[in-house]
Homo-oligomer: A and B are copies of this chain.
Amino acid sequence: MRIGVLGTGMVGRAIAGKLVSLGHEVMMGSRSADNEQAAEWVASAGANASQGTFADAATFGELVFNCTAGAASVEALRSAGAQNLAGKTLVDVSNPLDFSQGMPPSLFVCSTDSLAEQIQRAFPEARVVKSLNTVNCEVMVEPSKVPGEHEVFVCGDDADAKQQVVELLQSFGWPAERIIDLGDLTGARGTEAYLLLWLRLWGALQTGYLNIRILH
């Protein structure tokens, strides 16, 4: 599949690298067409990797990942262009982290709304699916970096888009029975707010290679 990955940070490179390794054609998008981090990634990732602007990557992708920083996501997606996202599955892995008050960060949206819903409202023709934002980027694409069986979540308003993401998650190494469907996109209020606990666990356990198993 042709996939656009917006964002050249650790998350974007991890997702884009995994997608190329799985045989997808991936264009990494950023503010400028000649972003250095994207160029380095393209040089190392081989023939199926390319780079461009946010708009180039969104146009290229049949499916698009939002891997930009949460605070910059809506602006980045505006650069990508609503028309280039229309009808496409947009996998939002970002978190609404606010670093302005120091560490640990707080959230700039919480409880009665979520970043995923803000994105969906700004781009009503995109099919937003929230996923993977509850683990660090290495665990996203290699769940076995955390020992044992543990969970990843999906939520979104479009069932077909969600199913497409579930299949991608399985190709990343997440077992089908460990992928929990939280329902519509308001479920992102839960997975984004969980970051506040995740950050405290990171502090207490001194590792970001952590995840939760749901027992019931």
Seen from chain A, the residues whose Cβ lies within 8 Å of a Cβ on chain B are 98, 101, 106-107, 110-112, 146-148, 150, 155, 180-183, 187, 189-191, 193-194, 196-201, 203-205, 207, 209-216
Interface of A is mostly: mixed
**Pair B146/A215 contact, Cβ less than 8 Å:** yes
Chain multiplicity (copies): 2
Residues of chain B within 8 A (CB-CB) of A198 are 190
Residues of chain B within 8 A (CB-CB) of A210 are 214-216
Residues of chain B within 8 A (CB-CB) of A101 are 112
A-B contact pairs, 29 of them (CB 8 A): A106-B111, A107-B110, A110-B110, A110-B111, A110-B193, A111-B111, A111-B196, A146-B215, A147-B215, A147-B216, A180-B204, A180-B205, A182-B201, A183-B200, A183-B203, A187-B200, A187-B204, A190-B197, A190-B198, A190-B199, A190-B201, A193-B197, A194-B196, A201-B216, A205-B216, A211-B214, A212-B212, A212-B214, A213-B213
CA distance A103 to B212 in the complex (A): 25
**Closest-CB distance, A85 to chain B (whole angstroms):** 26
Besides A183-B200, A210-B215, 4 new A-B residue pairs in contact (Cβ under 8 A), listed by A number? A147-B215, A211-B215, A211-B216, A213-B215
Residues of chain B within 8 A (CB-CB) of A213 are 212-213, 215
**Closest-CB distance, A191 to chain B (whole angstroms):** 6
**Closest-CB distance, A129 to chain B (whole angstroms):** 15
**Pair B193/A214 contact, Cβ less than 8 Å:** no
Given contacts A107-B111, A215-B212, contact A182 B200 (CB under 8 A): yes
CA distance A215 to B189 in the complex (A): 23
Closest to A212 in B: B212
Contact with A196, one of B106, B181, B193, B204 (Cβ below 8 angstroms): B193
Residues of chain B within 8 A (CB-CB) of A191 are 197, 200
**Closest-CB distance, A180 to chain B (whole angstroms):** 6
**Pair A204/B216 contact, Cβ less than 8 Å:** no
Closest to A194 in B: B197
Closest to A134 in B: B197
